[in-house]
Amino acid sequence: MADNVLSVFPGPGKQCKPDAPGNASDASWCRPDYSGGGIANLIGSVIESLGPRRAPLATLALLPPERLGKRVALIVVDGLGYEALLAARGVDPLRRHLAGAITSVFPATTASAVTTLLTGVAPCRHGLSGWFTWLMEPGLVAMPLPFTERGGGALNRAGVRADRLYTQTPVTARLGVASWLVLPRALCRSAYTDAHRGPATVLGYERLGGLFARLRGVFERARGGAYVYAYLPRIDALAHAHGIASAAVRRALGSFATGFERLLEGLRGLDVTVLVSADHGFVDTTAATRLRLADHPELARCLARPLCGEPRAAYCYLRRGARVRFLEYLGERLPGVCEAVSGERLIDEELFGPGVAHPDLRNRVGDQVLLMQGRYTLTDRVAGEQAGNPLVGMHGGMSRAEMLVPLIVAAP
C-alpha cells in the first residue's frame, strides 16, 4: 500500500451523482462539491438572497438565490442522508418537496459540516477538521463542538480561547435581515453557539413539536425579511445508537415528516421558503467492521498521539521513522479495510475545500489519513474516556451514504 496511489479515490471534478449506481458498502467514494453542488453552496444561495454581503463560495445550482425570497427557514436534520431518505417509508411530505441531492463537506461529520452551515465557508477555511481535533497549542486533542478536551474538562481550563478556535464570521452577520437560531435548549448557551450566533436571537426548544412551534412563531411575528436556522439532532443520536436503518430512526423520521407537513400548513400565506437539509448521512457498521486500535498494537506503536478526526477518516500522527512500517502493516494486516493518504495531499486536492487554508489545518489532519472502506471504522480510547455501548451508525467517511444529503425546498 502506498500513500500516493488511491485506486478508488475520485479526482477533482469527479463528484458523485445521486442517480449513479452505488451503495454504502461498495468501493467507490464520493467527493465533496464546493463549486455549486454542496451544503456550503446552499448557504451561498441563502447569503446572496438575503444579503447585503457576498457569499464566500458559489451559490447552489439546485437553488438559485432568486428562488428563495426574503423569508427563509433552514432546518438541519443531523444525520439525514439522501439515500436513507429515499429508502424510508412514511415520509411523503418530505419527498414531495425533494429537489435533489447535494454533498456534505469532508469529513462528512457534524463538527465540520455544521460549522460550514453556520459560517458559509469550507472546512479548509474554518479549520474544524473533525470531532477530534489536534490543537498544536496547547498540545491536546479537542472536541470543538462541546468545547472540551478529549477525556478531560472544558478547553478554557487548558487556556484555549473560544475566539481563537472559532474564527469565521457567522452567516447571520452577513445578512441584511433579522435572524434566529432555533436549537435544543441544552445547546443555547454553549461556547460554540455563542461564537456562531452573530446578531441572531437564540430560541430553545425541548421536543420536536417545540421546534416547529418556534419556527411558526417567528414568522408569524416577524416583519419584513427573516432568516431562521433550526437544528434537530435526534436522528443522529438514534442512528449512532441503533443504526440508520433501525425502527427507532424510522419512527423519528416519520414524526418529523408529519410535523413538517403541519408546519407548512401553519406557514401558508406568510411567504416563507422552508428548506430542509443535513450535515451528513450514515453507514451502519457491524461487530466485524468495528476495529479497535488496541487490537493492533504494532500499528499503535507507530503513532505519536491518539487518533484524531473520525472513526471513518482517522488522522494518524506518526512517530519519527515509523511511516514505512505503518504503511506496510496496513497492507499486510488490513487489506481492503482502508486507504492511507497523506494529510497534505487531501488539503492540496481540496477535499477540505478551495482557497487559502486555515493556518492550523495542516497540523489538524495528521501525517496520514485512513479513509475507511466499506463499513469499517477504527477507534481508540484515551485516559478519562468511559467505555460505552458500541456505536452502530457511523459517519465521517466518503461513501455516498455519508456524503450525499437531501435538499428539500417548500414554499407554502
Segment-wise mean pLDDT, segments of 10 residues, the chain, 412 residues:
40 53 54 97 97 91 95 98 96 97 98 98 98 94 96 92 95 97 97 98 97 98 96 98 97 98 96 98 98 98 98 98 98 96 96 95 97 97 85 97 98 77
Structural domain contains residue 385: yes
Whether residue 164 sits in one domain with residue 57: yes
Residues 85 and 231 in one domain: yes
In this structure, the strands spanning 178-184 and 226-232 are parallel
- CATH at 51: 3.40.720.10
Residues 6+ apart with CB under 8 A from 113: 39, 104, 105, 279, 280
Residue 243 inside a domain? The answer is yes
21 within some domain: no
Q: What's residue 405's pLDDT?
A: 98
Q: How many domains does the chain contain in total? A: 2
Strand (E) or helix (H) holding 410:
strand 404-410
Q: Is residue 162 assigned to a domain?
A: yes
Same domain, 123 and 259: yes
One domain, residues 313 and 361: yes
pLDDT at 261: 97
Would residue 123 count as lying in a domain?
yes
Answer yes or no: do 112 and 256 share one domain: yes
Both 222 and 314 in one domain: the answer is no
Q: What is the pLDDT of residue 387?
A: 78
Q: Are residues 274 and 154 in the same domain?
A: yes
Is the residue at 231 inside a domain?
Answer: yes
What does the pLDDT read at residue 412?
67
Residues 119, 127 contacting (CB under 8 angstroms): no
The CB-side HSE value for 142 (13 A sphere, CA atoms) comes to: 30
**Count of C-beta atoms within a 10 Å radius of residue 91:** 21
Question: 222 and 260 in one domain?
Answer: yes
User: pLDDT value at position 26?
Assistant: 43
How far apart CA 84 and CA 253 sit, in angstroms, is: 10
CA distance 322 to 62: 46
CA neighbours closer than 13 Å in the CB half-sphere of residue 233: 15
Q: The domain spanning residue 367 has which CATH number? A: 3.30.1360
Indicate whether 217 and 308 sit together in one domain.
Answer: no
Identify the burial level of 374 via C-beta atoms within 10 angstroms of its C-beta, where 0-12 means exposed, 13-18 middle and 19 or more buried.
middle
CB half-sphere exposure, 115, CA atoms < 13 A: 28
pTM of this structure = 0.94
Q: Which domain holds residue 390?
A: 290-394
62 in a structural domain: yes
68 in the same domain as 189 = yes
Please report the pLDDT score of residue 13 as a whole number. Answer: 43
* Distance between CA atoms of residues 346 and 292, nearest Å: 24
* One-letter amino acid for residue 196 of the chain: H
Please check whether residues 113 and 154 belong to one and the same domain. Answer: yes
Euclidean distance between CA atoms 396 and 363, whole angstroms: 19
Which pLDDT belongs to residue 23? 41
User: Does one domain contain both 45 and 181?
Assistant: yes
The answer as to whether 156 is a domain residue is yes
